[in-house]
Amino acid sequence: MKHLQPLYAVSALLLATACPAAELAAPRPWLAFDRYEQYRPSFYSGKGKLENVSGGVRLTGDTRTFVLRDRKFLIHSHNSPEAALFDCELASSNPVKVVISGTADGKPFRSAPAELRPGMKQLRVELGKPGLLAVSGLEILNPGGKLDLTLRRAALEYATNPAQALLVAPALPSRLAILNPGEPVRLSVTNPTAETISFTIDGKLTHFYGKALPFRAEQKLAPGQSATVSVPELPALNGHWQLDWTVRSGSDAATGKAGLAILPALPAYQAKPDDFKFGVCSHPGRWAEGERELEAQATARIGAAYVRTGVDWSNIQPTAAPPDYRLFDSVVDLFARHGIETQGMFGFCARWAAPESTRNAPKWQEWNRAKPDLDAWKSYVEATARHFQGRIRIWEIWNEPDLHAFSHFSAADYVDLARVAHATVKAVDPGLTVFSAGFAGLSPHPGRRDPDYQYKVMRDGKQYFDVHAYHGHSNYATYARQIDERLLPLREKAGVTIPWYANETAVSAIGGTEREQASALFKKLLFSWSRGAIGYNWYDLRNDGFTATDPEHHFGLLTHDFQAKPVLSVYHTLARCFRGARFERNLELPEGCVGFEFSNGPDRLLAVWNEADTATGPIPVLTDARRAERIDLMGNAVNQPLAAGLTLLDLTAAPAILRLENAKRAELKPELISFESGAVVPGQPFALTLTLANPTGKAADFKLAFRPKKGITLTPAETTVHAAPGQKQVVTVNGKAAADSRPDRVRLAYSLAGTPFHGEFDVPLRAATRIPAGDGNYRRKPDFRLDRPAQVVSYCEGDPSKRHLVWQGPEDLSAGVYLRKDAEELEIYTAVTDDVHVQPATGTDIWQGDSIQFALSIPGQNGSWKIGLARLANGRAQTFVWEAPTGFDPAAATDAIRLTTFRDDKAHRTAYRARLKLDAFGLTEQRLRDGIRFNLLINDNDGELREGFIQIAPGISEWKNFEKFPLIVFE
- pLDDT greater than 80 at residue 280: yes
- Residue 268 belongs to some domain of the structure: no
- Residue 755 belongs to some domain of the structure: yes
Average pLDDT score over residue span 562-577: 98
User: What is the SS3 assignment for 964?
Assistant: helix
Neighbouring CB atoms inside 10 A of 331's CB total 22
Q: Distance between CA atoms of 238 and 632, rounded to whole angstroms? A: 10
Distances (CA, A) of 693 to 164, 200, 793: 60, 57, 40
Same domain? For 100 and 234 the reply is no
- Residue 839 belongs to some domain of the structure: yes
- Quick: pLDDT tens for 254-276: 999 999 999 999 999 999 999 99
Choose among 527, 468, 538: nearest CA to 308.
538
- pLDDT greater than 70 at residue 16: no
Q: Residue 613: which pLDDT band, with cuts at 50, 70 and 90?
A: low
Which amino acid, residue 138? L
CB 511 within 8 Å of CB 545: no
> What does the pLDDT read at residue 5?
36
Same domain? For 761 and 776 the reply is no
Q: Tell me the CATH number at 55.
A: 2.60.120.430
> What does the pLDDT read at residue 367?
96
Show which of 668, 701, 727 is a domain's final residue. 668
Q: What is the pTM of this model?
A: 0.90
- Residue 349 belongs to some domain of the structure: yes
- pLDDT greater than 50 at residue 513: yes
Same domain? For 392 and 506 the reply is yes
Q: Tell me the CATH number at 879.
A: 2.60.40.1190
- pLDDT greater than 60 at residue 635: yes
Of 144-148, 243-247, 276-280, 557-561, the poorest mean pLDDT is in 144-148
Average pLDDT score, the chain: 93
Same domain? For 305 and 452 the reply is yes
- Residue 399 belongs to some domain of the structure: yes
> Which residues, in sequence order, are CB contacts of 514 under 8 Å at separation 6+?
565, 566, 567
Same domain? For 445 and 311 the reply is yes
Same domain? For 831 and 950 the reply is yes
Average pLDDT score over residue span 659-667: 97
CB 893 within 8 Å of CB 884: yes
> What does the pLDDT read at residue 943?
86
Angle between helices 326-337 and 289-301 (to 10 degrees): 30
Show which of 752, 767, 782 is a domain's final residue. 767
> What does the pLDDT read at residue 615?
66
> What does the pLDDT read at residue 829?
96
> What does the pLDDT read at residue 21?
42
- pLDDT greater than 70 at residue 729: yes
Residue 958 vs residue 746, higher pLDDT: 746
Neighbouring CB atoms inside 10 A of 748's CB total 23
Same domain? For 19 and 156 the reply is yes
> What does the pLDDT read at residue 294?
98
Residue 511 vs residue 9, higher pLDDT: 511
Same domain? For 152 and 213 the reply is no
Same domain? For 912 and 936 the reply is yes
- pLDDT greater than 80 at residue 13: no
> What does the pLDDT read at residue 773?
85
Average pLDDT score over residue span 19-25: 64
What domain count does the chain have?
Answer: 6
- pLDDT greater than 50 at residue 2: no
- Quick: pLDDT tens for 670-693: 999 998 887 788 888 889 999 999
**Domain range enclosing 640:** 583-668
- Quick: pLDDT tens for 830-852: 999 999 999 999 999 999 999 99
Share of the chain above pLDDT 90, in %: 81
> What does the pLDDT read at residue 612?
77
> What does the pLDDT read at residue 779?
83
Q: Residue 10: which pLDDT band, with cuts at 50, 70 and 90?
A: very low
Share of the chain above pLDDT 70, in %: 97
Of 15-19, 127-131, 919-923, the poorest mean pLDDT is in 15-19
Of 2-6, 390-394, 528-532, 831-835, the poorest mean pLDDT is in 2-6
> What does the pLDDT read at residue 684?
81
> What does the pLDDT read at residue 598?
98
- Quick: pLDDT tens for 783-837: 999 999 889 888 877 777 777 788 888 999 999 999 999 989 999 999 999 999 9
Show which of 550, 580, 610 is a domain's final residue. 580
Which amino acid, residue 805? L
Q: Tell me the CATH number at 615.
A: 2.60.40
Average pLDDT score over residue span 628-643: 97
Rg of the chain on CA atoms, in Å: 31
Same domain? For 91 and 153 the reply is yes
Dihedral of the CA atoms 534, 517, 815, 842 (nearest 10)?
-20
- Residue 272 belongs to some domain of the structure: no
> Which residues, in sequence order, are CB contacts of 963 under 8 Å at separation 6+?
857, 933
- Quick: pLDDT tens for 347-394: 999 999 999 999 999 999 999 999 999 999 999 999 999 999 999 999
Average pLDDT score over residue span 87-116: 96
- Residue 269 belongs to some domain of the structure: no
- pLDDT greater than 70 at residue 665: yes
- Residue 267 belongs to some domain of the structure: no
Q: Distance between CA atoms of 603 and 277, rounded to whole angstroms? A: 20
Same domain? For 788 and 761 the reply is no
- List the Cα angle 461/466/468 in 5-degree steps: 70
> What does the pLDDT read at residue 685?
87
What are residue 51's DSSP bridge partners? 58
- pLDDT greater than 80 at residue 15: no
Q: Tell me the CATH number at 683.
A: 2.60.40.10
Average pLDDT score over residue span 741-766: 89
Same domain? For 648 and 689 the reply is no
